[in-house]
Copies of this chain bind each other. A is one copy, B any other.
Amino acid sequence: MSDKGLTLWFTGLSGSGKSTLAQYLTPKLLELGSKVEVLDGDEVRENLSKGLGFSKEDRDTNIARIGYVANMLARNGVIAITAAISPYASLRRAVRERAQARFVEVYVQCALDVVEERDTKGLYKKARAGIIKNFTGISDPYEEPEHAEVVVNTGEETIEQSAEKVLDYLRSEGLLNETADSAS
């Protein structure tokens, strides 16, 4: 069992593939002997943030909570993957600053027209129609990460390619068990 806890912070537009990538990576990391928890945006809203809306203040509170829990897991040897939009750079920075274990930001990039075309949950349509307010990318800003440790583009890469980029980074930083094994 690895005790290399870290926060793997995915950020990107709704529909960019954060959750899909998190779910795809989880069994691969488990196979390598890591402990993994996925803090998915929707699940977290249900379990930790019910009642919060999508104003800047409520989004910030939601993100701070995810960061608090991810950090607690990470400092206990778990790879905590978060998959919330986390649109504001200031909050992502605040969470990173509070992290007591490694913090790896993964920008799950995807062009707006691509996620809007996908519209997996039908949310973009509702946002364009004004039925959903404060929708990231449409009526609320998404501040792109400038210094993410990993950038993937789910509009241009296969999920295998995106996942491999993340694993490559973790491997190169000695954050996976296999690295330790092959080095010993």
Cβ distance A184 to chain B, nearest Cβ, rounded Å: 18
A44 closest partner in B (C-beta):
B68
- CB-CB under 8 A from A69, the residues of chain B are 48, 69, 72
**22 A–B contacts, CB within 8 A, in A order:** A35-B76, A35-B77, A37-B72, A37-B76, A47-B64, A47-B65, A47-B68, A48-B48, A48-B65, A48-B68, A48-B69, A50-B61, A51-B51, A51-B61, A69-B69, A69-B72, A72-B73, A73-B73, A73-B76, A76-B76, A76-B77, A76-B78
Query: How many copies are assembled?
Result: 2
Given the complex of chains A and B, what is the CA–CA distance between A97 and B34 in angstroms? 27
Please give, as numbers and ranges, the residues of chain B lying within 8 Å of A65 by CB-CB distance.
Answer: 47-48
Expressed in whole angstroms, the Cα–Cα distance for A47 and B1 within the complex equals 30
With a cutoff of 8 Å between Cβ atoms, the chain B residues found around residue A51 in the complex are 51, 61
Could you tell me the distance between the alpha carbons of A37 and B103 in the complex, rounded to whole angstroms?
Answer: 20
* Chain B residue, CB-CB nearest to A1: B3
Q: Is the interface of A mostly helix, strand, loop or mixed?
A: mixed
A residues contacting the other copy or chain, number (CB 8 A): 18
| Contact residues of A between 8 and 65, Cβ < 8 Å to B | 35, 37, 47-48, 50-51, 61, 64-65
CB distance from A178 to the nearest CB of B (A): 20
- The chain B residue with its CB closest to the CB of A68 is B47
Q: How far is the CA of A68 from the CA of B47 in the complex (A)?
A: 7
Q: How far is the CA of A37 from the CA of B75 in the complex (A)?
A: 10
Contacts of A37 in B (CB 8 A): 72, 76
A37 to B77, CA, bound (A): 12
Q: Which residues of B contact A78 (CB under 8 A)?
A: 76
Shortest CB–CB separation between residue A69 and chain B, in angstroms?
A: 6
